[in-house]
Amino acid sequence: MAGGGGGLAHLPLASRRQIYRSLQKDKAYGKLLFKEIEGVVNAVVGAANATNYKAEAEAIVDLCYEALARNSRNQTLGQEDCDLLPMWHPSGQIPSKSRLGLLVLFRIGLPYSAGKLYSSSTGIMSLATPAYRSLRGLVGGRFLPQLSSYELSSALFGILQAAERGCLLVFFLNGLFPQLAYRLSRVSFFSYDEISKTERQPHYRILGWFLILAEFFKYVERRHSASESLESDGQGGSEGNLKFFSNKEKSERAPASQSSDAALEHEAKCPLCLSNVEFPTSTPCGHVFCWSCILHWCNQKEECPLCRSGADTRDLVCMHHIHI
């Protein structure tokens, strides 16, 4: 390695164990900070609004943690606990403030963008879809397929997730950049832990090869599932499966639909979204919510929003054919 600034050239590169542990520690510290702030946000804006803007709140808390938890040597709490010093690879110099800011931007912005793409945000895709169409017009339809906004959001989300997994696999092999943000900003770590220099390190390369093998099997399984779905689509859709209604049947069905529309006014309200309950779902304690509302809540916090009793996603019961 080239001689680095700040007298760090004599330090060895950090081990995979130290880097991975520091990431886990920073993640745990960030969760503790968010848990303290989450209660205040719920009390101020309400549980429903807090759930709707949970991703934005997490990004702001992570940004505050990265900005406030770094010491004079630009270490986070997790890096300080694991005896790590950030360095700019491959020069070995101490990274500048702008480079660390770029690291924080990538580390927080990429997961946030991936989550927004996964939820198919219309605001984001209204900007991305015309740009993709323009790019497709320049490159040509042979190289870029025609995709709807939903397909484009799923494809972009898949690319970001695959890039993140790929960086983790390469990290287990070479031990440099544990996440996509670190690879893009070219920030790695030195170690000043004297004990770790002589300590026998686990064989993380073997774990990396096993993960590569697992990703290969996942790819084969996805290809097999896609081919089976195409075959089933080709066999379905026959005219015999279509159901036609006579004018008499249509006239009989019309009053029923009108009466059902009138009954909507008397339906129960979801405590989270305050709208009529769609696909009523019960928690183990008996409270009823919309399926999407309570599923999103329990994915973030495994408890009932009303009585705070335990509620795992596996315990939710969707009440089909039950009028509320």
Q: Is 231 a member of any domain? A: no
132 and 273, same structural domain? no
241 pLDDT more than 50: no
246 pLDDT more than 80: no
Q: Is 133 a member of any domain? A: yes
CB atoms within 10 A of CB 22: 23
64 and 193, same structural domain? yes
Q: What pLDDT does residue 127 have?
A: 67
Reference 192, options 277, 86, 283; nearest CA is 86
Domain of residue 302, CATH code: 3.30.40.10
Q: Is 236 a member of any domain? A: no
4 pLDDT more than 60: no
Mean pLDDT of the chain: 79
Q: What are phi and psi of 138, to 5 degrees?
A: -75, -45
180 and 65, same structural domain? yes
Q: What pLDDT does residue 107 have?
A: 92
- Name the domain boundary from 152, 185, 218: 218
302 and 198, same structural domain? no
Q: What pLDDT does residue 321 have?
A: 62
Residue ranges making up the domain that contains 123: 5-218
pTM score: 0.65
Q: Is 87 a member of any domain? A: yes
90 and 188, same structural domain? yes
Domain count, the chain: 2
CB atoms within 10 A of CB 313: 12
- Name the domain boundary from 185, 201, 218: 218
Q: Percentage of the chain surpassing pLDDT 90?
A: 20
273 and 124, same structural domain? no
196 and 68, same structural domain? yes
51 and 171, same structural domain? yes
Cβ(93)–Cβ(6) under 8 Å? yes
194 and 48, same structural domain? yes
6 pLDDT more than 60: no
Q: Is 249 a member of any domain? A: no
Q: What pLDDT does residue 72 have?
A: 79
Q: What pLDDT does residue 219 have?
A: 85
Distance, CA of 199 to CA of 181 (rounded, Å): 29
Strand ranges, E, within the chain:
84-88, 187-191, 280-282, 288-290, 317-318
128 pLDDT more than 80: no
State how far the alpha carbon of 170 is from the alpha carbons of 166, 180, 207, 222, in Å: 6, 10, 11, 22
- Name the domain boundary from 218, 249, 284: 218
Distance, CA of 295 to CA of 281 (rounded, Å): 9
Q: Is 253 a member of any domain? A: no
Tens digits of residue pLDDT in 16-59: 889 999 999 999 999 999 988 888 888 888 877 787 788 888 89
Q: Is 277 a member of any domain? A: yes
Nearest 5 degrees, angle CA 200-CA 201-CA 207? Answer: 145
290 and 159, same structural domain? no
272 and 210, same structural domain? no
Tens digits of residue pLDDT in 86-104: 999 888 888 998 999 999 9
205 pLDDT more than 80: yes
Q: Is 85 a member of any domain? A: yes
Q: Percentage of the chain surpassing pLDDT 70?
A: 78
Tens digits of residue pLDDT in 148-199: 777 777 778 888 888 999 999 999 988 889 999 999 999 999 988 765 555 5
147 and 39, same structural domain? yes
CA dihedral sign, ordered 128, 132, 133, 138: positive
Nearest 5 degrees, angle CA 221-CA 225-CA 231? Answer: 145
